C-alpha cells in the first residue's frame, strides 16, 4: 500500500465525512488510472481535497457525493478540453449551471472525464488524450461519447457522473458499462456551460450505479435556468417515488427496435425484462414507430450540420490553441489551427455538415432530414396518444465491441446509435438500465416516454432494476 493510501486510512476517522470521502475517491481514481482505464482528463489529488473542503460547509441532498464531470461541461477548477487538442489548455472563466447546482447541494467535483472529441463518437476512441477502456473488459470500448464518466461510475470510483447526449451518448455507454444512464426531456436540464455540438439535440445527462442515485442528482440539477433560453419552466425532477408497481400502465414494444440485426443475447435479455414488467402489473403491447429506419441517417445529417456551425468559432483568434501559419496571413492561420486542432472524426463531420448546408444541397439533404425528424417525432406522439404510457427497447443492438473494431468503418460505428438517437431527434426522455450480461459483458434495456414524462420513466427503470439481476447471464 502506498503512502497516500496509508494516510487516508490513518486520518479519515478524525476528519469530516466529506474530506474522508474525497480522500477515498482520490485513491480509487489513482488506482484505476494506473491500471490503464484512461477515464480522466483532468484530475489532481490536491484539487479534489480543496473541492471537498469547500463542500464540507454545505448541507444539502448531495452532501459527500463525488461527481465526475464530462470534459465538455465547464468547470472552474479543471480545464475544459472537450477531449480535443484545440482546447487542450482552455480554462473556462465560468462554470456550468449543473456544476453550480451540484456544489450548492453539497456535492463536489472529483475529476473531468475522457470523451470522444467534442462528443463526436460512440466509443471514446476519438479523444485527443487516447481511448478510454471498458472497466468490465479492457479490450472493449466503454461506449461514447461519455465513456469516461460511465467507466468511472462503473468501477465505483465516484458516486455519479455528468455526461452529455446529442444522439445517445449517455445511454449507450451506460449500457456498455453496466450502469444506469438518464437523458431528460429536451430543456428539462440547463445546457448553460455545456460546449455546443448540435444545439437542438444536446442535453446534459446523468450516470450512476442505481436509479436512486440518478434521481437524486437529476432532481438537483433540473429546473428552470434564466441563462439558458431552451430550458423549460418546469419543476425539478422528483427526488423519490411512491409507485410500488406498474399496474395501470401500458408499455409498448416497438417492432422496429427488435429487428434481425439485434444480437440474440440482447433479445433474450429484453424478453426476460418484458416478462418482469408484466409481472409488475404492466400491460405489454407491440407497437410501431415506422420512421425509425430513417433515424440514423436523419441524425447524421442534422447533427453534423449544427456542429459545422457551432465549431466555426474555434479559429485560433479568440481562444484555444492557435496553429502556426508561418506568417502567411489570416486564412492560413485558420487553416493551420483547425487542421492541427481538430481530429479526423471532427473534421469529417464538419465537412459533412458544411456540405449538407451548402446552397446546392440544402434542399436535397438538410431540408429533407428536418422533414424526417418531424415524422420521427410524430411517430412518438401517435403511439403515446394511442394509450401507450412507455416504450421499452434494447439500448444497444449488441454488447460492447472490441477497441479498434469500428474505427475503419465510420458508417458501421454510426449504426451503433440506431436504438438511441431517435429519442434525441424527438426530444423525449429516455433511460437505460442494466438487464443482464452476455459472457460477462453488460446489456442495457431502455425506457422512453412522452415529453416531460421524466419521472415516469425513472419510476419504471427503478422497479425493473429491483426485479432483474443486471449481473446475471442471459
Cell output for 342: 481538430
Q: Which of 123, 145, 219, 432 is catalytic?
A: 145
Active site includes 233?
no
Bridge pairing between strands 66-70 and 108-113: parallel
Angle made by CA atoms 162, 168, 173, in degrees to the nearest 5 = 60
Q: What gap in Å lies between CA 64 and CA 18, rounded to an integer?
A: 5
Residue with cell 502506498: 2
Residue 34 bears catalytic tag: no
CA atoms of 237 and 234, how far apart (whole Å)? 9
Residue given cell 459472457 in the structure block: 439
3-state SS, the chain, equals CCHHHHHHHHHCCCCCHHHHHHHHHHHHHHHHHHCCCCCEEECCHHHHHHHHHHHCCCCCCCCCCEEEEECCECCCCCCCCCCCCCCCCCCCCCCCHHHHHHHHCCCEEEEEECCCHHHCCCCCCCCCCCCCCCCCCCCECCCCCCHHHHHHHHCCCCCEEEEEECCCCCHHHHHHHCCEEEECCCCCECCCCECCCCCCCCEEEEEECCHHHHHHHHHHHECCCCCCCCCCCCCCCCCCCCCCCCCCCEEEEEHHHHCCCCCHHHHHHHHHHHHHHHHCCCEEEEECCCCHHHHHHHHHHHHHHHHHHHHHHCCCCCCCCCCCCCCCCHHHHHHHHHHHHCCHHHHHHHHHHHHHHCCCCHHHHHHHHHHHHHHHHHHHHHHHHCCCCEEEEECCCCCCCECCCCCCCHHHHHHHHCCCHHHHHHCCCEEEEEEEEECCEEEEEEEEECCCCHHHHHHHHHHHHHHCCCCCEC
How does strand 160-165 pair with strand 40-42?
Answer: unpaired
Looking at 169, 216, 222, 308, which residue is catalytic? 169
User: Could you confirm whether 359 is annotated as catalytic?
Assistant: no
Q: How far apart are CA 325 and CA 348, in angstroms?
A: 22
- Which sequence positions are flagged as catalytic? 70, 145, 169
Amino acid at each position: 500500500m502506498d503512502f497516500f493510501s496509508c494516510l487516508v486510512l490513518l486520518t479519515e476517522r478524525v476528519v469530516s465525512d466529506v474530506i474522508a470521502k474525497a480522500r477515498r475517491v482520490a485513491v480509487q481514481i489513482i488506482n484505476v488510472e494506473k491500471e490503464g482505464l484512461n477515464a480522466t482528463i483532468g484530475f489532481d489529488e490536491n484539487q479534489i481535497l480543496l473541492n471537498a473542503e469547500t463542500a464540507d460547509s454545505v448541507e444539502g441532498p448531495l452532501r459527500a457525493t463525488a461527481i465526475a464531470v464530462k470534459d465538455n461541461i465547464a468547470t472552474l477548477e479543471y480545464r475544459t478540453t472537450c477531449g480535443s487538442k484545440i482546447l487542450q489548455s482552455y480554462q473556462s472563466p465560468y462554470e456550468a449551471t449543473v456544476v453550480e447546482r451540484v456544489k450548492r447541494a453539497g456535492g463536489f467535483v472529483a475529476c473531468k472525464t475522457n470523451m470522444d472529441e467534442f462528443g463526436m463518437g460512440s466509443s471514446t476512441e476519438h479523444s485527443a488524450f487516447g481511448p478510454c477502456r471498458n472497466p468490465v473488459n479492457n479490450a472493449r470500448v466503454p461506449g461514447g461519447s461519455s465513456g469516461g464518466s460511465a467507466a468511472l461510475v462503473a468501477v465505483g470510483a465516484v458516486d455519479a457522473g455528468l455526461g452529455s447526449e446529442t444522439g445517445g451518448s449517455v445511454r449507450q455507454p451506460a449500457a456498455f458499462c453496466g450502469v444506469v444512464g438518464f437523458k431528460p426531456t429536451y430543456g428539462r436540464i440547463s445546457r448553460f456551460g455545456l460546449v455546443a455540438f448540435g444545439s437542438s439535440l444536446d442535453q446534459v445527462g446523468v450516470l450512476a450505479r442505481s436509479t436512486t442515485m440518478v434521481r437524486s442528482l437529476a432532481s438537483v440539477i433540473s429546473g428552470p435556468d434564466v441563462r439558458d433560453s431552451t430550458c423549460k419552466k418546469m419543476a425539478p425532477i422528483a427526488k423519490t417515488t411512491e409507485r410500488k408497481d406498474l399496474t395501470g400502465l401500458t408499455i409498448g414494444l416497438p417492432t422496429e427496435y427488435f429487428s434481425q440485426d439485434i444480437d440474440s443475447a440482447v433479445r433474450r435479455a429484453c424478453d426476460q425484462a418484458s416478462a418482469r414488467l408484466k409481472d409488475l402489473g404492466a400491460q405489454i403491447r407491440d407497437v410501431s414507430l415506422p420512421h425509425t429506419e430513417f433515424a440514423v441517417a436523419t441524425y447524421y445529417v442534422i447533427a453534423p450540420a449544427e456542429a459545422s456551425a457551432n465549431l466555426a468559432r474555434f479559429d485560433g483568434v479568440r481562444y484555444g490553441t492557435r496553429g502556426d501559419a508561418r506568417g502567411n496571413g489570416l486564412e492560413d492561420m485558420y487553416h493551420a489551427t483547425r487542421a492541427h486542432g481538430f481530429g479526423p472524426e471532427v473534421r469529417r463531420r464538419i465537412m459533412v455538415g458544411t456540405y449538407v448546408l451548402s446552397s446546392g444541397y440544402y434542399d436535397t439533404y438538410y431540408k429533407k432530414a428536418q422533414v424526417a425528424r418531424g415524422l420521427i417525432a410524430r411517430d412518438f406522439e401517435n403511439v403515446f396518444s394511442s394509450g401507450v404510457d412507455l416504450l421499452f427497447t434494447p439500448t444497444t443492438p449488441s454488447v460492447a465491441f472490441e477497441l479498434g473494431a469500428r474505427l475503419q468503418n465510420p458508417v458501421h460505428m454510426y449504426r451503433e446509435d440506431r436504438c438511441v438517437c431517435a429519442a434525441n431527434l424527438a426530444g423525449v426522455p429516455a433511460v437505460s438500465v442494466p438487464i443482464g450480461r452476455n459472457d460477462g459483458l453488460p446489456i442495457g434495456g431502455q425506457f422512453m416516454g412522452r415529453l416531460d414524462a421524466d419521472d415516469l420513466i425513472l419510476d419504471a427503470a427503478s422497479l425493473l432494476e429491483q426485479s432483474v439481476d443486471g449481473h446475471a447471464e442471459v
